[in-house]
Chain A
Amino acid sequence: MRSRTLLAPVVALAGAALLAGCAMGGGQPAGEVVLDPDAKLEGEITVWSWDVAATALDRLGDEFEAAHPGTTVNVVDVGYDNAYDKLSVGLQAGSGLPDVVTIETDRAPGYINEFPAGLVDLDPVLGDDEADFDPFKWQAQSDADGALKVAPWDSGTVGLFYRTDYFEEAGIDPASIATWDDLVAAGEVIKAKTGHTLLSLDVATGGGFQMLLQQQGQGLFDENGDITVNSPEAVEALTLLQTLNEKGLLKNVKGWDGRVTSAKDGDSAVTPEAVWWIGTLLGDAPELSGTYGVTELPAFEEGGVRTSNSGGSGLSVPAQAKNPQLAAAFVAFALADADNQVSMMQNEGLFPSYLPALQADYFAEPQEYFGGQPVYELFAEQTANIPAITFTTDNAEASDIVANAVVAAVLNGADPQQTLDDAAQQIATATDREIAE
């Protein structure tokens, strides 16, 4: 009796494992998909996207169908964020995915490295257009051998949003700000004269540290995959954030909603953020119309790079797609076409990473919300300047460790160099990578 009661759970466990695991081993589909740019276009594709991106593709799908009789484009809004659950499970299972999926730039390197055979190489269809795309996007969304896996779509070109009324009240000309040091000095004047902080940042998620790093042409890893989070540039970026807080110029807010609320309440004078922040302002803070302007991001040194990247996304064709040829043709139609990219900017607010589109007259138009300033022109000029950086499979893990380091230095006053050295060591232990010299 005794041995039976002991044995029962073991047998049960084996049985349950059998029940739960009987469909294991689907894996990746056999045979690599090679695109043929001259393939005859026919049949049907399904596209997964979300939010306004889905609206845009739905609209372009109708135009594509009209231009290529005998084709059908179905666009499904699978929801943002949790779409990645569907994507991950589909790639893992080797089935269940549609012909085209949307992937954000931040997430793309993870999927490309995790599922090397999961996404189709888009070079045969888009390779000739490489020079026409935002160079950072192209690199971030290609694999280690340079094969493009996720076609660049909308760009996350960063600028400096500022409150014109606060600057006026403090008597500062935003055009005179060329470096971060200038901005910190201006911030002190603004704080003294208007009582407003300079920046509202969500420190717990890294407070824009990686954006400042990319501005200096650096990622968390270099092109050899070595850890660079304790480089002199990184220390400079973290010291800047720490200084802002020590001088009382930084308002720490919590999460996305905290940032929106802070902008709406007018807590701070500037917001360094990507071009899509305009959509947030127009939608959630319409009453602030006329109080905002945009200028280039301040450089770290006089004459340095004055932009960075935050967000943006791309389109990809899974290897399991039923109609990869048509899928790739649709991706090229939507993304490597100036008119279509401009139409997505005009109708859905998706800022193109396709450089020829940025020449369009639309970008020079004055924007009422920004007091008539043609703000898109600035983002259009800066898009080609976004420094390219390297991503690895370990970016997600390293990001968490770096965010902790940012909290330690900014909120708890730890020494930036020491903190980042520790962070680099932690990343090295966690990922088995070398720390760059």
Chain B
Amino acid sequence: MTATSALSSVDPARRGGPDGREPREALARRTAFARGILRAPVYLLLAVASVLSVLPFLWMVIASTHQTSELFGTPLPVLPGGELWVNLARLQESVNFSQVMLNSLAIAVIYTVFSSIVSVMAGYGLATYRFRGRGVLLGVVLVTMMIPMQVLLVPLFQMMASAGWIDSYQAVILPFLANAFGIFLMRQAFLDFPLTLIEAARIDGAGELRTFYRIVLPVARPQIAALVIYTFISQWNSFIWPLLMLNTEDKYTVPVALNTMIGMSRVDYSGLMLGSLLATLPLMLLFLVFQKQFVSGLLGGAVKG
């Protein structure tokens, strides 16, 4: 059915009437319908994709409510079992889970706050000020991003050991405060920042700090939200460095503690699944809180103006 035939079926008295509202609405409805048909395969594809991405998560929920020995059987359980509280009690008992959750939260929050401050300020500086050595400085930042972690492990470890910081949280947090990716992300974000706004603030007599806090920060909120989410997730999931630095079970972070549940001749999968499930909750919460800003932050680079 085409738009022309749609028009011809409308009452002739109304067709092309003085306001012309009705036909246009019908047209809009028709095109929306046609668009819907066109989009059906897209939605189908998206539905399949979301089912596929939800399945592992669903399996995590199911697995965390069964005994480990049931997870090796054929067929695999498809419904939640009744072992959730038993698994939770064991998780708490074997790795002191509530404590390590708190540890992880404390580390991730502190790291996110300070690392974001460094990234935002450094990124702003590199993007808006012109000074001697700016290119070199940016180059150094980028190059540290390119050095693989494995190369850094031993020298960094030695630095922490000679500072006497092994088994302390500052050793987990400090070495990565200046996060190259974060700085670069913020620099790119501030490159698009309208200089005229800053100039206007200056003309009005605002100092550099005042300009930064009052003018720049509020406008850059979406990008900062994206940065915060990224920084928090990377610290929350970070494994190898906390593993190397922390030597006391009560100081472990969640990934390090969960790793101790992998045994020599047995793996406590239901405990692991439950722990991983609980570990994703703070991330989901964070994403829900920052979702609006996050999405516009991601699109900020794509759709200019």
Chain A positions within 8 Å of B, measured between CB atoms, are 4-5, 8-9, 11-13, 15-16, 19-24, 26, 46, 48, 50-53, 76-82, 85-86, 89-90, 92-96, 98, 256-257, 260-261, 264-265, 276-277, 279-280, 283-287, 311, 313, 349
Contact = CB atoms under 8 A, between A and B. Distances in A.
A92 B135 contact: no
Given A52-B263, A77-B249, A265 B73 contact: yes
8 tightest Cβ-Cβ pairs between the two chains A and B: A12-B139, A79-B260, A51-B263, A95-B161, A16-B143, A23-B159, A79-B259, A279-B265
A277 B249 contact: no
Nearest to B151: A20
Nearest to A311: B264
A92 B161 CA distance: 12
Interface in B257-286: 259-260, 262-267
Contact of B264 (A12, A48, A53): A53
Interface string B149-184: 001111111111110001000000000000000000
Contact of A9 (B143, B147, B266): B143
Given A5-B135, A284-B69, 12 more contacts: A8-B135, A16-B143, A23-B158, A51-B260, A80-B260, A260-B72, A264-B69, A276-B264, A276-B265, A283-B68, A285-B69, A287-B69
Given A23-B162, A82-B243, A12 B140 contact: yes
Interface residues of B, number: 42
A77 B260 contact: yes
Nearest to A10: B139
Nearest to B258: A79
Contacts, number: 138
Contact of A12 (B142, B158, B159): B142
Contacts of A95: 157-158, 161-162, 166
B13 interface: no
12 contacts: A9-B143, A12-B136, A19-B140, A20-B155, A22-B159, A23-B162, A26-B158, A26-B161, A85-B244, A95-B161, A261-B72, A284-B69
B122 to A, nearest CB: 15
Nearest to B239: A82
Contacts of A24: 155, 158
A93 to B, nearest CB: 5
Contacts of A80: 260, 262-264
Main secondary structure of the interface of A (DSSP, over half): helix
Contacts of A94: 158
B156 A23 contact: yes
A321 B154 CA distance: 18
Contacts of A82: 243, 259
Contacts of B143: 9, 12-13, 15-16
Contacts of B72: 257, 260-261, 264, 284-285
A86 B161 contact: no
Contacts of A280: 265-266
A257 B69 CA distance: 11
A89 B263 contact: no
B256 A79 contact: yes
B2 interface: no
A265 B68 contact: no
B5 interface: no
A383 B236 CA distance: 46
A28 to B, nearest CB: 12
Contacts of A257: 72, 267
Nearest to A75: B249
A8 B263 contact: no
Contacts of B158: 23-24, 26, 93-95
A21 B256 contact: no
A4 B243 CA distance: 42
A265 B73 CA distance: 6
A283 B73 CA distance: 13
Contacts of B98: none
Contacts of A20: 144, 147, 151-152, 155
B4 interface: no
Nearest to A267: B74
Contacts of A349: 265
Nearest to B166: A96
B262 A16 contact: no
B166 A52 contact: no
B247 interface: yes
A230 B262 CA distance: 36
Given A13-B143, A283-B69, A78 B159 contact: no
Contacts of B240: 85
B242 to A, nearest CB: 11
B211 to A, nearest CB: 28
B157 A284 contact: no
Contact of A8 (B139, B151, B161, B249): B139
Contacts of A92: 154, 157
A92 B154 CA distance: 7
Given A85-B244, A285-B69, A50 B154 contact: no
Nearest to B146: A16
